[in-house]
Amino acid sequence: MRDAPLRLRFAPSPTGYLHVGGARTALFNWLLAKKSGGTLVLRIEDTDRSRHVADSVEKIVQDMRWLGLEWDEGPEVGGDHGPYFQSERLEFYRKYTDQLIEQGKAYYALETPQELQAARLAARKEKRSYAYKRPDPLPTCEEADAARQEGKPVTVRFATPGKDLVIQDEILGEVRLASQEIEDFVIQKGDGWPTYHLACVVDDELMKINYVIRGQEHLINTPKHVALQEALGFSTPRYAHLPLIFNMAGAKMSKREKLTTIRERLGQATKGYKAGTPEAEGFYSKLYEVVGGAAVVDALGEGKADEAILEKFATFFGLELPEVNVHDFRLGGYLPEALLNFMSLLGWSAGDDREQLTLAETVELFDVDRIGKANARFDRKKLIAFNTDWCQKVTPERLVEGFGDYLEQTGSPMASAGAAVKIHLLSVCAGFRTFRELESKCGPLFVENDRIVFNPKAVKKLLVRGDRAGYKMLAKVLPELDACPTWSPKELEALFERLCADYDTKLGNVAQPIRVAVTGTNVSPPIFDTLAILGKEKTIARIQQCSSLQEE
Ligand code: GLU
């Protein structure tokens, strides 16, 4: 059995974008599948209709593809063990639930959610832990039917075997859950749909999964799954639970990272405000205007805010939200190579302090034995350093492809620039940390002239200061540029050299005012490249525009 080819699965729930924790799980499963010559199944666990978010599957599929983590069976590729959406597999779950009921290993439960909630509250009041108490006698099939007739929800619970549940984890070793910690859990909900536990166990069996890699947050579920497998006569896969991922503040990384950031910022902003005071009212009315009303702020307080709303708060506060989803990193200007390399080290190490690894090298070196037990730390600075290195390491073709993807995803005006221009800028700006950084440096070259945003500090320092020396320089250089017959970085360099000699001044004194005039800022690609890419006409027009907008 141990030698059977491995069948692994990545089983996301479609509750939104693929976050880094999920992506790390996908990656480790993919690595083991590749390393062992096994099969990776992508299964969509969509039985919790209340948490279902539209378009999530498309997003997950897109992000997996962007990372290059292809699957062998699953949505869009098919396979012999489908369907791969749990919502299309209800007949299987019903069949096994019925089997468990028939064998007396599961039973109907008739309590309403309100009754269960009341029992929980009573336990809390009496300071004792709550566990569902198995009814005696168990409700019969007729009683369940009658309850349904009355419109009451009828669930099915698994009769736990009443013994300690033990699993052998490939990373953590023996994990034991004492019998009193396991209550009779629900396997079929009131709406007739299976719970995650049942669906997962049935599918792992029917899809012949023999190795499960998932996050440690699921460790609590595993003994339940093993108990269900035993009750159903299924085989038990090998389990490897990956260490949790913590942020640098020492809290578990979660999808809620963005929400927490905004809540903290809102808390700081409103600290000391008293309700009803003009100060508070003024602040809130501005906030409501941007985010869309008081109800939105209340929803945020309750932890209910989708990505679009979070972005509105971020705009209001001028905040950059921490990237948590794979898609955020794509929009943040990271290369998938860098993100993969970084994620592979969240819990795993290659040994020998080797960290910079291609995906092929990671496959080669990957071994579950080298996955640690300790929490992994999501060090964003390290990820940026990785990205900086990767951007210098990949081939120019790959770099321009990655940059092109970034520009398209973000809708940058630079997306329409020709490949040669992009390649040139990537090379003259080498050393950039992210595509986002590069784009903000080069972006002004690709907007309409009247869309340039002048940075007040740069204008003051490089144009106004010193008796308007910068503006005067623009006036002097303009006819020289206008008279320049050829327009290439080389010719421009020669021209600027001559001007420096004529004016007996340093290059910076000539170039910086021009840089501000044509880009609005003091940061741009090298000046000769900047002007060459802009072309003569635009350069002249922009200098004239800047001069005519002279600030006092
Ligand atoms: N659907 C579960 C999740 O998204 C994964 C369950 C599993 O790997 O067993 O967290």
Give tens-digit pLDDT for 470-505. 999 999 999 999 999 899 999 999 999 999 999 999
Question: Once rounded to an integer, what is the mean pLDDT over residues 325-354?
Answer: 95
Cβ of 39 closer than 6 Å to ligand 1, yes or no, is no
| Planar angle of CA 410, 412, 417, nearest 5 degrees | 130
Question: Once rounded to an integer, what is the mean pLDDT over residues 366-381?
Answer: 96
Catalytic residue among 255, 382, 393, 476: 255
- Which residues touch 343 (CB under 8 Å, ≥6 apart)? 20, 23, 24, 27
Cβ of 9 closer than 6 Å to ligand 1, yes or no, is no
**Within 13 Å, how many C-alpha atoms sit on residue 394's CB side?**
22
**Within 13 Å, how many C-alpha atoms sit on residue 525's CB side?**
25
**pLDDT given for residue 309 in this prediction:** 86
Phi and psi at residue 234, to the nearest 5°: -90, 165
d(CA 525, CA 512): 12
Q: Is residue 271 pLDDT above 80, yes or no?
A: yes
Q: Is residue 102 pLDDT above 50, yes or no?
A: yes
| Planar angle of CA 158, 161, 163, nearest 5 degrees | 140
- Within 350-488, residue ranges assigned H as helices are 359-365, 380-393, 396-410, 419-428, 435-442, 456-459, 465-483
Integer Rg of the chain from CA: 30
Cβ of 63 closer than 6 Å to ligand 1, yes or no, is no
CA of 227 from ligand 1 middle (Å) equals 18
**pLDDT given for residue 178 in this prediction:** 79
Q: Is residue 249 pLDDT above 80, yes or no?
A: yes
pLDDT tens digits, residue range 219-230?
A: 999 999 999 999
Look at the alpha carbons of 218, 219, 224, 228 in this order and tell me if their dihedral is positive or negative. Answer: positive
Q: Tell if the pTM clears 0.85, that is, is over it.
A: yes
Asked if 255 is an active-site residue, the reply is yes
Of ligand 1's listed atoms, the one at least distance from the Cα of 215 is: 8
d(CA 182, CA 166): 12
Q: Is residue 1 pLDDT above 60, yes or no?
A: no
Please give, one letter per residue, the 3-state secondary structure of 103-125: CCCEEEECCCHHHHHHHHHHHHH
Cβ of 11 closer than 6 Å to ligand 1, yes or no, is yes
* Residue carrying structure tokens 């997996």: 64
Please give, one letter per residue, the 3-state secondary structure of 133-171: CCCCCCCCHHHHHHHHHCCCCCEEEECCCCCCEEEEECC
Ligand 1 pocket check: which of 24, 40, 214, 241 to mutate, most ligand atoms within 8 Å of Cβ?
214
CA of 83 from ligand 1 middle (Å) equals 17
**pLDDT given for residue 2 in this prediction:** 53
pLDDT tens digits, residue range 451-467?
A: 999 999 999 999 999 89
Confidence class for position 415, pLDDT limits 50, 70, 90: very high
Task: Tell me what the pLDDT averaged over the chain comes to.
Answer: 93
Which residue has the least CA distance to atom 7 on ligand 1? 11
d(CA 484, CA 491): 8
CA of 48 from ligand 1 middle (Å) equals 12
- Which residues touch 529 (CB under 8 Å, ≥6 apart)? 424, 425, 428, 489
Which residue has the least CA distance to atom 6 on ligand 1? 11
Cβ of 195 closer than 6 Å to ligand 1, yes or no, is no
CB 499 within 8 A of CB 527: no
Cβ of 160 closer than 6 Å to ligand 1, yes or no, is no
- Which residues touch 443 (CB under 8 Å, ≥6 apart)? 412, 413, 414
CA of 196 from ligand 1 middle (Å) equals 8
DSSP 252: B
Confidence class for position 345, pLDDT limits 50, 70, 90: very high
CA of 478 from ligand 1 middle (Å) equals 64
CA of 8 from ligand 1 middle (Å) equals 13
Answer with the residue of higher pLDDT: 307 or 350: 350
